[in-house]
A and B are shown apart, each in its own frame.
Chain A
């Protein structure tokens, strides 16, 4: 792994919890690496498995999904569907030669700015360890 490798990561954040949590991290001025670019969706349940594949295909080294805690979903249970989809996608990615660790789902409430900053830091570290996505070369 090259020292200067800066991973490219897409973060799908649900409007009500994770996006608000990321705002909270900002309000509290908690620093985290800039490798992650947020894309707001209304619910983590909106994250179509195709979005994940598409992101890797476009050259992402990691995909992050942030949703409400189980039971707290603004849309009742969209996050639980995401949980199932992520589980399935991890298996699928593995079969396709992508380390499933490159896909991460986290529950982040609107008050958990500190958690958002922490998990993003962890995730970026983890992806740095893994190195560039094997699909990058295919492009």
Chain B
């Protein structure tokens, strides 16, 4: 038990001291039992601040400290490291008087509350036990969820370092959104050309186990020791035997829209999403097929000379053990049916940016020809609308980050395809912050003679063969009406529905845009709040390819740092059973979500390696015989007492 507690109150510049009377907090807390020293300092986390703590621990012979500063999420580790040289790190606690006090309250009441928070923290600290971390082994294999550019990059980085990677992709092929793009801004290099070598490298890498056309069913465990259940959906085509000759596709009588082409091109029930698909194999879409059981058609099987088609293929569930997980599930476009002002997505000639992207692609539905979908003519007047669903309180309030750039690219490519055509871009602001981006925008505006109009489009309606686009030029204040042939909407980027499922399995929070919540928006942008889980690419926020790749490599480096250790330290804040008084009722065993409570000689026993320290058992034990280390009943009751 701590008897000589020192309290260090941080000013955090004006962040705390500008609101809370820090001197008074220090004065008040000095009166508290067992507090023998209290002081304030400008920036406790700075080097001189940390030295002050060291110096005072020695001078005042302190045996425990409270740092009243920011959230423990921010600096608990910093200060516990400072104290490590003198005593057990659990003799250091933080009192959060910034995020939960000075930043949200004013003046006198903030000071009063700060005093209460510090007192409560002192009370908790008094009863803290000295604990040592529990060591657990690390499974040095990484799961990557999603095979877009971010997932591929992260997987390659980790595999190149010599660790095994399990990559799970839901679609028949890896490649993700980047595979759908025609050219990439600002250099205009062909997306497929730079992506496919990486796809192939991944599939051939001896350290990568690729599960394409597979889904994550379940994830359990904790950092270093996750167990993942993967559903391998049946392709009904043997990947190893398929030669991609295409004979099956020719005879298949079923035609459905091709998702890869954003539904703008048909495919057969047996199909390969795009020619460069990896793994290079056909897939039979069971939903579209005329029927497998009972077998109704079987023309593809008759046509397949390689004998690759197997109608009896069954879904398979495989289990993999991994130590770390990278989520790289990518993005979707906002549903254009929700945009009432742009015709609910019902007009054939109002298309999304990804549909236009496919149109530009040489392997796309029009072989790279820009057409007006309703008539097949070349559009002579085209309108691009930026922020369709983004920066809009009725839809998504945030900026989708990449639309300014790809719209400029679209407009430029349009002018190259249709030199005598007119292109208009409606924008709110131009955001071109990447390397070479501003120059690219300038080139598009000046050299390519694209008409940029600052303003939002209020309405689009059809008049015969034309679309009337009504907007306002906010720079001149004039109303504008353009008779357009084709309208391209730069749709907002949103998180995927599937990401929500994954987030639920991983216990990661999701924001209103459907993006995964990182541990710290600035300093831990690729880490989840739970250890061992990392993010890469657009599942975390909208971003361009270089940022997605950089984030993927960052996530990979985090995983490699984790794998550099043979054993990981686990929080020792586990449940402790008073075996002498345990009545053996088994309530704790029934409530424990981790199976960490077991029977031993008619009494409950906690397996520390499995216990995560939630405390549900302690709250449920009818005879109050379970205590949570450093969250004991007495500690919490004492805290309550001093704050009231």
Contact = CB atoms under 8 A, between A and B. Distances in A.
A10 B644 contact: yes
Contacts of B613: 42
Given A30-B104, A73-B507, 10 more contacts: A26-B104, A32-B104, A33-B105, A37-B116, A38-B100, A39-B639, A45-B614, A75-B616, A78-B615, A111-B511
A77 B619 CA distance: 14
B637 A47 contact: no
A42 B100 contact: no
A38 B619 contact: no
Contact of A27 (B103, B511, B619): B103
Interface string B497-520: 000000110010111100001000
B1 interface: no
A46 B120 CA distance: 18
Nearest to B107: A34
Residue from the set A17, A26, A75 with the largest chain B CB neighbour count within 10 Å: A26
Given A41-B636, A110-B529, A34 B105 contact: yes
10 contacts: A8-B643, A27-B103, A34-B113, A42-B628, A45-B619, A46-B618, A46-B619, A47-B619, A59-B644, A75-B612
Interface in B86-118: 96, 98-101, 103-106, 109-110, 112-113, 116-117
A23 interface: yes
B633 interface: yes
Nearest to B521: A27
Contacts of B112: 34
A139 B526 CA distance: 51
A10 B641 CA distance: 10
A71 B504 contact: yes
A55 interface: yes
Contacts, number: 147
A30 B633 CA distance: 32
Interface in B177-191: none
A81 B636 CA distance: 19
B4 to A, nearest CB: 24
Contacts of B103: 26-27, 29
A51 interface: yes
B583 interface: no
B573 interface: yes
A36 to B, nearest CB: 9
B620 interface: yes
A127 interface: no
A93 to B, nearest CB: 16
Contacts of A49: 619
A78 B631 contact: no
A46 B631 contact: yes
Given A72-B509, A74-B507, A110-B509, A50 B633 contact: yes
Contacts of B631: 41-42, 46
Contacts of B110: 34
Contacts of A22: 99-100
Interface in A37-82: 37-43, 45-51, 54-55, 58-60, 68, 71-78, 81
Q: Which 3 A-B pairs have the closest CB atoms?
A: A26-B99, A46-B615, A75-B614
